Each structure stands twice: as structure tokens, then as C-alpha cells.
């Protein structure tokens, strides 16, 4: 199975018709093709898998896994997508790129700040 065929890959979600509306990094609305909407706030999803089973994919639901592969573009306010081959987040609209390690550091700092509060 290739990376794009895995249920936790963002490419898989897009091929299945899921829509994503990012509020900011870690917050989003995920809409299924049937119109069902799940809310993710600070990396916590309200889908049945997350609420009742604590996620089926390494302690998280697929929606949260998908969200980790998206990042708000700082240049054009669109959505950047993670490329596992180049290990960067790239905006398909403007071409802006962020390295994975920079995003992970930013996310870790925000989590640490939130936990300290």
C-alpha cells in the first residue's frame, strides 16, 4: 500500500471527497461527502471514533491525522499540504514552502504554552 492509499494520508481524504476548513493550526472543520461535519479544536475531534474509542489510529482519529498534514499558508491564507517525499508543507496555490521541522517546533511551542496556562 502506497502512502497515498493509507486511510490516514491527506491524499486519501481528498480523493474520498472530504473538505477541510482551517481556522488556525490545530483547529478545523472536516466535512464528509454526505454533509456530516466534525469539529477539531486544539487537535481534539468530536467524531464518534475519537469520542467513544479514543481514535483508531495510534490514539487519534483519522481526522486529526489528516489535520496534522495541513497547515495555514502564511503568505496567501490558503492551506498548505504536507509532502512526505520532500518533508515540507507546500501551498498548492502560491508555492510557499515550510520545512517540517519548523512546523513541528512551532506546534510543540504552542502546546507547551497552552499546557503552562
Any residues with CB less than 8 A from the CB of 43 and at least 6 apart, and which?
26, 60, 64, 67, 68
Q: What is the pLDDT of residue 110?
A: 87
- Per-residue pLDDT reduced to its tens digit, 56-75: 888 899 999 999 999 999 99
pLDDT digits (tens, 9 = 90+) for 13-50: 999 999 999 988 889 999 999 999 999 999 999 999 99
Same structural domain, 105 and 59? no
74 and 52 in one domain? no
Find the length of the chain.
Answer: 117
- Asked whether residue 74 falls in the same domain as residue 95, the answer is yes
Comparison of pLDDT for 81 and 84, the residue scoring more: 81
Q: Are 46 and 79 in a shared domain?
A: no
63 and 75 assigned to the same domain: no
Look up the pTM and report it: 0.87
Do residue 6 and residue 56 come from a single domain?
Answer: yes
The rounded distance, in Å, linking the Cα atoms of 98 and 115 is 25
Residue 38's domain spans which residues?
1-68
Amino acid at each position: 500500500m502506497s502512502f497515498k492509499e493509507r486511510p490516514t494520508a491527506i491524499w486519501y481524504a481528498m480523493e474520498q471527497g472530504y473538505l477541510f476548513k482551517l481556522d488556525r493550526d490545530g483547529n478545523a472543520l472536516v466535512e464528509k461527502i454526505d454533509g456530516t461535519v466534525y469539529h477539531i479544536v486544539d487537535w481534539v475531534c468530536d467524531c464518534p471514533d475519537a469520542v467513544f474509542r479514543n481514535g483508531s489510529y495510534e490514539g487519534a482519529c483519522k481526522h486529526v491525522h489528516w489535520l496534522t498534514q495541513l497547515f495555514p499558508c502564511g503568505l496567501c491564507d490558503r492551506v498548505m499540504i504536507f509532502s512526505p517525499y520532500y518533508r515540507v508543507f507546500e501551498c498548492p496555490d502560491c508555492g510557499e514552502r515550510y520545512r517540517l521541522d519548523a512546523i513541528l517546533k512551532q506546534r510543540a511551542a504552542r502546546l507547551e504554552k497552552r499546557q503552562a496556562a
